[in-house]
């Protein structure tokens, strides 16, 4: 079911009605029924894979929890009888058993994810390799990738690891874990929530509350506005530039890249606003995914503010476990002795970052473009980390004050341009196309003589005005968000009737510009990941 359809509006209307009419103890059942219904409407064939993930994680987490509890009870009961060595041996044995169960479940689920996501890519590489020897590997695989498999697999594996590490308690009811896995507002594009954050919200009773309804509905409209007016109109421009950059000027191609930066932000954050708004109406607080990312002062900071839930996931379940693993710590210790303290400190983090960023690239898509994209992001972050000391010295020598607004503006502008260039790399087509687009920007210097030469990808100019207005509005909102929620600010400063007018105006812009732009362009960029 498309999020930008009347059916979806009827779906959420039905959900809200049933959700607030049933006794509160049944509210989570309603969420489960609607989530499974939403998922089944997207394709019944995907449902068994979702069930496999939820049930395997439920059973494994129960097993891990029961074993850990039994071990704790045994050790407590036999405290006086067991020596320190015996206690340690028992703990080590128990941990090994639990780790084995965890590994099996991770392999099963990551295996399913990899088979669905990477089989075509791997077959293409095998075919290229076979071609060198005159052979051929045919890709006859024709299956449908389960909806949201990248998101729900990560979310569920996060739960499993948390239970293994004792950070979360295993859920005893399999249907509750199924709701956590399949919760429809987040299944197609995240956020990837932690069990401890989301479960408390999902299973708590919620009443219909005017403030939540009003603020949630405002955010919902804002999200539709960002997606349907800004992202969908820009999508037409961006597709044109990516397809024809070879015949456009460097400046027009650069403007196309900027359009892509605005489009992907409006698209992804628009989706988040729609879903966070809907959840707010239901009384559920979803994990936020954005914190004004284009105002970041470094690539590392940008990744702490863009798709935050994915960044936190990779940090908690990939980066930290690799960085603090025994072998990596030993390597760091060895490097400290032989290559100096600083090198030894940086090495474990660097290795963990390399793996994390290549994995992040692969998570986004099975192509060399995404692997390069992850690599370039990782390279900037690792380079900045190693250069932190020299940078501090240079800034001191040049008398640069960190708090000076000009310096901060420079950092924000530089980071925005860097992430924009990195973003377009995998999106143009192949990696060769991405690099070709970069080359075009830097090597084609002809100056435009008219607006149509400057913006060759713009046909009708009226939607362009809507884009300029919506991007300007998003910029203004981001500026205001520095001091807190804009909806709260509107409530404090703007009279009720005027506030209504603002959202009615946005609604009409959606109808006038957004609806025509959304025919055939309704898909969200992050839904493909």
Partner 1 sequence: MDELLEILNDINPDVDYETEDRLIDGKVYDSFSIITLISNISETFNIELGPEHLIPENFNSAAAMWKMIQSILDEE
**Sites for partner 1 among residues 357-416 (CB under 8 A):** 385
CB of 54 vs partner 1, minimal distance in Å:
23
Catalytic residue list: 364
DSSP codes of every residue in 259-316: HHHHHHHHHHHHHHHHHHHHHHHHT--PPP--S-GGG-SSHHHHHHHSSHHHHHHHII
Please give the structure tokens belonging to residue 275: 């879903």
**Sites for partner 1 among residues 159-188 (CB under 8 A):** 161, 164-167
Q: What is the DSSP letter of 461?
A: S
DSSP, collapsed to helix, strand or coil, labels residue 457 as coil
- What does the per-residue mask of binding to partner 1 show for 112-151, with x meaning CB under 8 A? ----------------------------------------
SS3 content of the chain, % helix, strand, coil (to 5): 75, 0, 25
Pairwise CA distance, residues 206 & 196, whole Å: 18
Using CB under 8 A as the binding rule, whether residue 351 contacts partner 1 is answered as: no
Task: Find out whether 148 and 188 touch, Cβ atoms under 8 Å.
Answer: yes
Using CB under 8 A as the binding rule, whether residue 468 contacts partner 1 is answered as: no
Task: Find out whether 144 and 46 touch, Cβ atoms under 8 Å.
Answer: yes
Using CB under 8 A as the binding rule, whether residue 321 contacts partner 1 is answered as: yes
Tell which one of 14, 175, 320, 488 touches partner 1 (CB under 8 A). Answer: 320
Using CB under 8 A as the binding rule, whether residue 316 contacts partner 1 is answered as: yes
Task: Find out whether 226 and 266 touch, Cβ atoms under 8 Å.
Answer: yes
**Cβ distance to partner 1 smaller for residue 347 or 474:** 347
**Cβ distance to partner 1 smaller for residue 331 or 489:** 331
CB of 196 vs partner 1, minimal distance in Å:
10
Intra-chain end-to-end CA distance of the chain, in Å:
17
Candidates 347-355, 369-377, 391-399, 436-444: pick the segment binding partner 1 (CB under 8 A).
Answer: 347-355
Candidates 232-240, 323-331, 403-411, 484-492: pick the segment binding partner 1 (CB under 8 A).
Answer: 323-331
Tell which one of 146, 190, 348, 361 touches partner 1 (CB under 8 A). Answer: 348
Using CB under 8 A as the binding rule, whether residue 323 contacts partner 1 is answered as: yes
Using CB under 8 A as the binding rule, whether residue 324 contacts partner 1 is answered as: yes
Phi, psi of 81 (to 5 degrees): -80, -30
Residue 281: alpha-carbon gap to chain centroid: 23
Tell which one of 25, 96, 138, 326 touches partner 1 (CB under 8 A). Answer: 326
Pairwise CA distance, residues 442 & 437, whole Å: 9
**Cβ distance to partner 1 smaller for residue 208 or 385:** 385
CB of 339 vs partner 1, minimal distance in Å:
14
> CB atoms < 10 A from the CB of 454, how many?
14
DSSP codes of every residue in 360-394: HHHHH-SSHHHHHHHHHHHHHHHHHHHTHHHHHHH
* DSSP H or E segment with residue 404: none
Using CB under 8 A as the binding rule, whether residue 528 contacts partner 1 is answered as: no
- What does the per-residue mask of binding to partner 1 show for 79-118, with x meaning CB under 8 A? -----x---x------------------------------
Tell which one of 345, 452, 485, 528 touches partner 1 (CB under 8 A). Answer: 345
**Cβ distance to partner 1 smaller for residue 125 or 316:** 316
Pairwise CA distance, residues 119 & 127, whole Å: 12
CB of 379 vs partner 1, minimal distance in Å:
16
Task: Compute the CA torsion angle 468, 474, 479, 482 (nearest 10 deg).
Answer: -170
Tell which one of 202, 349, 458, 525 touches partner 1 (CB under 8 A). Answer: 349
**Cβ distance to partner 1 smaller for residue 85 or 211:** 85
CB of 147 vs partner 1, minimal distance in Å:
30
Candidates 344-352, 416-424, 425-433, 506-514: pick the segment binding partner 1 (CB under 8 A).
Answer: 344-352
**Cβ distance to partner 1 smaller for residue 68 or 257:** 68
Task: Find out whether 281 and 217 touch, Cβ atoms under 8 Å.
Answer: yes
**Cβ distance to partner 1 smaller for residue 84 or 462:** 84
Going from the C-alpha of 95 to that of each of 64, 108, 159, the distances in angstroms are 9, 20, 18
Going from the C-alpha of 18 to that of each of 26, 274, 356, the distances in angstroms are 10, 20, 42
Q: How many residues bind partner 1 (CB under 8 A)?
A: 24
Task: Find out whether 220 and 277 touch, Cβ atoms under 8 Å.
Answer: yes
Location of structure tokens 């010295």: 393
Tell which one of 315, 408, 491, 499 touches partner 1 (CB under 8 A). Answer: 315
Candidates 225-233, 312-320, 370-378, 414-422: pick the segment binding partner 1 (CB under 8 A).
Answer: 312-320
Tell which one of 225, 319, 370, 526 touches partner 1 (CB under 8 A). Answer: 319
Helices in 387-495 by DSSP H: which ranges?
388-397, 405-424, 431-443, 451-454, 462-481, 486-493
Pairwise CA distance, residues 279 & 424, whole Å: 32
Candidates 37-45, 243-251, 320-328, 358-366: pick the segment binding partner 1 (CB under 8 A).
Answer: 320-328
Binding site for partner 1 (CB under 8 A): 84, 88, 161, 164-167, 315-316, 319-321, 323-324, 326, 329, 332-333, 344-345, 348-349, 352, 385
């Amino acid at each position: 079911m498309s999020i930008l359809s009347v059916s979806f509006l009827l779906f959420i209307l039905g959900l809200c009605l049933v959700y607030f009419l049933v006794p509160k103890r049944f509210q989570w059942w309603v969420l489960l029924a609607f989530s499974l219904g939403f998922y089944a409407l997207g394709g019944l064939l995907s449902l068994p894979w979702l069930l496999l993930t939820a049930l395997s994680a439920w059973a494994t987490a129960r097993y891990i929890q029961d074993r850990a509890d039994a071990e704790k009870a045994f050790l407590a009961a036999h405290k006086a009888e067991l020596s320190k060595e015996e206690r340690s041996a028992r703990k080590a044995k128990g941990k090994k058993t639990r780790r084995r169960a965890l590994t099996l479940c991770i392999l099963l689920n990551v295996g399913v994810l990899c088979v669905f996501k990477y089989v075509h890519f791997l077959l293409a590489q095998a075919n290229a390799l076979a071609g060198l020897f005159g052979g051929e590997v045919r890709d006859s695989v024709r299956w449908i990738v389960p909806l949201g498999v990248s998101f729900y697999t990560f979310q569920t594996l996060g739960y499993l690891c948390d239970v293994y590490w004792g950070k979360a308690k295993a859920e005893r009811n399999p249907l509750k874990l199924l709701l956590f896995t399949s919760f429809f507002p987040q299944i197609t594009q995240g956020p990837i929530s932690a069990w401890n954050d989301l479960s408390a919200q999902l299973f708590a009773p919620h009443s219909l509350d005017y403030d939540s309804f009003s603020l949630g509905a405002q955010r919902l409209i804002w999200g539709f506005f960002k997606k349907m007016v800004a992202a969908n109109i820009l999508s037409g421009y961006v597709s044109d530039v990516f397809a024809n950059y070879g015949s456009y000027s460097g400046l027009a191609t650069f403007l196309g890249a900027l359009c892509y930066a605005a489009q992907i932000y409006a698209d992804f954050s628009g989706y988040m606003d729609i879903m966070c708004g809907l959840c707010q109406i239901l009384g559920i607080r979803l994990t936020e995914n954005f914190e004004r990312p284009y105002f970041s002062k470094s690539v590392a900071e940008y990744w702490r503010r863009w798709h935050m839930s994915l960044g936190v996931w990779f940090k908690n379940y990939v980066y930290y476990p690799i960085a603090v693993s025994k072998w990596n710590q030993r390597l760091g210790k060895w490097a400290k002795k032989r290559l100096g303290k600083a090198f030894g400190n940086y090495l474990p983090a660097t290795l963990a970052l390399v793996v994390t960023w290549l994995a992040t690239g692969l998570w986004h898509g099975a192509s060399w473009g995404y692997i390069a994209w992850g690599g370039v992001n990782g390279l900037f972050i690792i380079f900045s980390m190693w250069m932190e000391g020299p940078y501090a010295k240079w800034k001191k020598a040049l008398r640069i004050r960190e708090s000076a607004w000009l310096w901060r503006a420079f950092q924000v502008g530089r980071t925005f341009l860097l992430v924009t260039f990195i973003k377009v790399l995998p999106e143009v087509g192949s990696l060769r196309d991405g690099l070709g687009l970069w080359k075009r920007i830097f090597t084609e210097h002809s100056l435009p003589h008219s607006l149509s030469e400057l913006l060759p990808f713009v046909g009708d100019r009226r939607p362009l005005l809507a884009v300029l207005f919506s991007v300007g509005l998003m910029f203004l909102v981001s500026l205001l968000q520095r001091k807190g929620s804009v909806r709260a600010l509107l409530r404090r400063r703007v009279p009720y009737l005027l506030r209504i007018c603002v959202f009615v105006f946005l609604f009409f812009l959606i109808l006038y510009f957004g609806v025509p732009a959304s025919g055939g362009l309704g898909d969200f960029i992050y839904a493909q990941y």
